[in-house]
Amino acid sequence: MTKARVLRKETDVKTLLPAFVRFTACACFSAVALGIAVHAPAQTQTQMNQDACAVFERADTELNAVYRHILAAYEQAPQFTEKLTKAQRAWVAFRDAHLEAVYPDPDKQAAYGSAYAMCRCFVLAELTKRRVDELKQWLNGVPEGEVCGGSIRRAAPRQD
Task: Say yes or no: 79 and 100 in one domain.
Answer: yes
Task: Say yes or no: 72 and 135 in one domain.
Answer: yes
Mean pLDDT of 49-59: 97
Which CATH number do you get for residue 118?
1.20.1270.180
Task: Say yes or no: 14 and 57 in one domain.
Answer: no
From CA 11, how far away is CA 16, in angstroms rounded? 8
Total structural domains within the chain:
2
Q: Specify burial of residue 80 (Cβ count, 10 A radius: 0-12, 13-18, 19+).
A: middle
Answer whether 0.85 is exceeded by the pTM: no
Q: What Cα–Cα distance (Å) separates residue 84 from each residue in 76, 124, 140? A: 13, 20, 16
CB atoms inside a 10 Å sphere around CB 94: 12
For the chain, report the end-to-end CA distance as a whole number of angstroms: 70
Task: Say yes or no: 76 and 116 in one domain.
Answer: yes
Task: Say yes or no: 27 and 47 in one domain.
Answer: no
CB atoms inside a 10 Å sphere around CB 148: 6
Residue ranges making up the domain that contains 87: 42-140
Number of helices (H) and strands (E) in the chain: give both, helices first.
5, 0
* DSSP 3-state of 62: helix
33 Cβ contact partners less than 8 Å away, ≥ 6 residues apart: none
Question: Which tens digit of pLDDT belongs to each residue from 2-47?
Answer: 555 444 544 444 554 444 334 434 444 455 555 555 446 878 999 9
Task: Say yes or no: 131 and 55 in one domain.
Answer: yes
Question: Which tens digit of pLDDT belongs to each residue from 97-151?
Answer: 999 999 999 999 999 999 999 999 999 999 999 999 999 999 999 998 899 999 9
